[in-house]
């Protein structure tokens, strides 16, 4: 018998690849942070020995969720400015709060809270866009979660940088600093076409191509954005980015609620990705991403929560259900966005958007052991006819019991293994007092 690090026996394994596949009474053999084998449980017991055997007799194992668009630190502003349209929410509430409070401490504490929430909901990788990305990186490394850190760029000064040149210079330096970090990758993250001018966008494109990095940007989020771009530039934002060379297979276009047929075809032709954030878009009344049409055209559509300040959670199970239901309503087709498609949006499609599809996003031999277990024995998921449908349409994040990232268990029987929960609660209370005083 071969001795390995961890052996997990499960009632079901949903590998994501091949699609629409469910293995019953199968096991995962994990060694050196990777999936060594996926095989029937009886064979696993004969072939492998481990001091760490995990029995999950009522659970489904699947690849950890990839939250493809977050502003992790903004979790500290959850619920502080609700029920407002996007620009009012940003200009009159969020940006003033950030101007007063946003610093390394804010980012560190908010990211720690976000990581705790994401792990407890089955997210094993997040793609972030915020200030002080080096601080976000430290928290991600400390807590053991996988992350893609956005190298933020805007034209305006902040406490992190004074102009677009400084944002880019600091971002490039951080990319080099994090290059060897096992669980961390980077992307360029110009905030939006309306906050970044042509010259820095062109420079970002050159650097992204040179470093082979994605470009992660809010794009076509609202009708107002389109109208303003037409007035200011004479063309729609996607066309402007296309003219600057940014519309290619490195593009991660977040929100994309305002797309016409030609734009969908363009995104498909170049191999770009969209990140759909249905709950944030609904809450801010930003519009509806034509997900079914994009998928039919061949666009890679991933799933993200956006920040907890506009969602108000980082719950990928809820996001999957909303994406599937909303996608059907928008397409006027009950067969649009079936459960497996939603599950792929939350896993392998997100990995592909980040350039990590050969590392994560599915449970395949040789890939990283980023794994989650969902207990399907709860009354809310009974009776059970199809585990995939039950996970997407009925399960809640409270049924995520165990989480591994690169083979290391970060959630065990609903308990976080690497957090001081008392300290985290005190941190959150401190910020609630500070931010409430600002609003009073």
Residue 87: phi, psi to the nearest 5?
-70, -35
- Whether 59 and 72 map to the same domain: the answer is no
CA triple 437-438-440, angle to 5 deg: 65
Helix (H, G, I), strand (E, B) or coil at 314: coil
- Whether 262 and 401 map to the same domain: the answer is no
* Dist. CA 187–CA 129, nearest whole Å: 9
Q: How many helices (H) and strands (E) does the chain have?
A: 17, 18
Give how many domains the chain has, as a whole number: 2
- Whether 346 and 374 map to the same domain: the answer is no
**Per-residue confidence (pLDDT) for residue 168, from 0 to 100:** 98
**Per-residue confidence (pLDDT) for residue 218, from 0 to 100:** 98
- Whether 52 and 74 map to the same domain: the answer is no
> Domain of 79?
66-353
Say which residue the tokens 């330096």 belong to: 173
Instruction: For residue 415, give the nearest of 120, 151, 127 by alpha carbon.
Output: 120
- Whether 111 and 233 map to the same domain: the answer is yes
**What CATH number is associated with residue 189?**
3.20.20.140
- Whether 165 and 254 map to the same domain: the answer is yes
Average pLDDT, rounded, for the chain: 96
- Whether 210 and 318 map to the same domain: the answer is yes
Instruction: Please check whether residue 220 lies inside any domain of the structure.
Output: yes
DSSP per-residue string spanning 238-289: HHHHHHTT--STTEEEEE--S--HHHHHHHHHHT-EEEE-HHHHHHTT----
* Dist. CA 153–CA 190, nearest whole Å: 4
CA distance readout (Å), 307 to 55, 81, 237: 35, 13, 23
Helix (H, G, I), strand (E, B) or coil at 122: coil
- Whether 291 and 382 map to the same domain: the answer is no
Output the six-digit token pair for 427: 């941190």
Beta bridge partners of 415: 412
**Per-residue confidence (pLDDT) for residue 440, from 0 to 100:** 44
Last residue within a domain, chosen from 288, 323, 353:
353
Output the six-digit token pair for 328: 């059907």
Instruction: Please check whether residue 324 lies inside any domain of the structure.
Output: yes
Instruction: For residue 275, give the nearest of 247, 294, 253 by alpha carbon.
Output: 253
Mean pLDDT by groups of 10 residues along the chain of 440 residues? 97 98 98 98 98 98 98 96 86 89 96 98 98 98 98 96 97 97 98 97 98 98 96 97 98 98 98 98 95 98 96 98 98 98 98 98 98 98 98 98 98 96 96 76
Instruction: Please check whether residue 417 lies inside any domain of the structure.
Output: no
Asked whether the CA dihedral 218, 223, 225, 226 is positive or negative, the reply is positive
Last residue within a domain, chosen from 314, 329, 353:
353
Instruction: Please check whether residue 196 lies inside any domain of the structure.
Output: yes
DSSP per-residue string spanning 396-435: -GGGEEEEEETTEEEEETTEESS--HHHHHHHHHHHHHHH
- Whether 162 and 23 map to the same domain: the answer is no
Output the six-digit token pair for 157: 């000064």
Residue 239: phi, psi to the nearest 5?
-65, -40
- Whether 30 and 139 map to the same domain: the answer is no
Asked if 126 and 70 count as a contact pair (C-beta separation under 8 A), the reply is: yes
Output the six-digit token pair for 325: 């239901």
pTM more than 0.95: yes
CA distance readout (Å), 408 to 1, 51, 182, 403, 437: 22, 14, 13, 8, 40
Q: Enter the DSSP assignment of 94.
A: I
**What CATH number is associated with residue 372?**
2.30.40.10
- Whether 286 and 164 map to the same domain: the answer is yes
Instruction: Please check whether residue 412 lies inside any domain of the structure.
Output: no
* Dist. CA 316–CA 396, nearest whole Å: 10
- Whether 136 and 240 map to the same domain: the answer is yes
Instruction: Please check whether residue 119 lies inside any domain of the structure.
Output: yes
Instruction: Please check whether residue 359 lies inside any domain of the structure.
Output: no
Instruction: Please check whether residue 440 lies inside any domain of the structure.
Output: no
């Amino acid at each position: 018998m071969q001795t390995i690090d961890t052996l997990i026996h499960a009632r079901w394994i949903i590998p994501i690849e091949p699609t629409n596949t469910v293995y019953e009474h199968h096991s995962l053999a994990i060694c050196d942070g990777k999936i060594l084998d996926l095989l029937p449980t009886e064979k696993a017991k004969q072939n492998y020995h481990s001091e760490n055997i995990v029995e999950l007799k009522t659970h489904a194992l699947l690849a950890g969720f990839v939250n493809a668009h977050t502003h992790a630190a903004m979790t500290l502003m959850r619920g502080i400015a609700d029920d407002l349209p996007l620009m009012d929410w940003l200009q009159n509430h969020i940006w003033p709060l950030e101007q007063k409070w946003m610093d390394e401490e804010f980012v560190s504490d908010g990211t720690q809270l976000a990581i705790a929430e994401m792990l407890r909901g089955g997210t094993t990788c997040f793609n972030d866009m915020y200030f002080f990305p080096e601080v976000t990186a430290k928290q991600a490394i400390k807590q053991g979660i996988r992350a893609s850190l956005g190298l933020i760029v805007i034209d305006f000064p902040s406490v992190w940088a004074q102009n677009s040149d400084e944002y880019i210079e600091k971002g490039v330096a951080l990319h080099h600093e994090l290059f060897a970090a096992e669980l961390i990758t980077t992307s360029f993250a110009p905030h939006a076409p309306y906050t970044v001018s042509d010259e820095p966008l062109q420079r970002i494109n050159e650097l992204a191509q040179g470093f082979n990095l994605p470009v992660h940007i809010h794009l076509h989020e609202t009708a107002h954005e389109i109208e303003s771009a037409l007035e200011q530039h004479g063309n729609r934002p996607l066309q402007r980015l296309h003219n600057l060379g940014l519309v290619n297979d490195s593009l991660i276009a977040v929100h994309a609620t305002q797309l016409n047929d030609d734009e969908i075809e363009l995104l498909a032709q170049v191999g770009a990705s969209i990140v759909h954030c249905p709950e944030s878009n609904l809450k801010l009344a930003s519009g509806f991403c034509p997900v079914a049409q994009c998928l039919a055209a061949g666009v890679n559509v991933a799933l993200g929560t956006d920040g907890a300040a506009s969602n108000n959670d980082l719950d990928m199970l809820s996001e999957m259900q909303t994406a599937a239901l909303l996608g059907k309503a928008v397409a006027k087709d009950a067969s649009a966005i079936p459960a497996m498609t939603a599950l792929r949006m939350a896993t392998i499609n997100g990995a592909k958007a980040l350039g990590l599809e050969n590392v994560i996003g599915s449970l395949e031999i040789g890939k990283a052991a980023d794994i989650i277990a969902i207990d399907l024995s709860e009354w809310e998921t009974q009776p059970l006819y199809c585990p995939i449908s039950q996970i997407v349409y009925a399960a809640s994040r409270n049924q995520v019991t165990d989480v591994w990232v690169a083979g290391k268990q970060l959630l065990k029987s609903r308990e976080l293994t690497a957090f001081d929960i008392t300290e985290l609660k005190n941190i959150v209370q401190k910020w609630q007092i500070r931010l409430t005083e600002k609003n009073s």
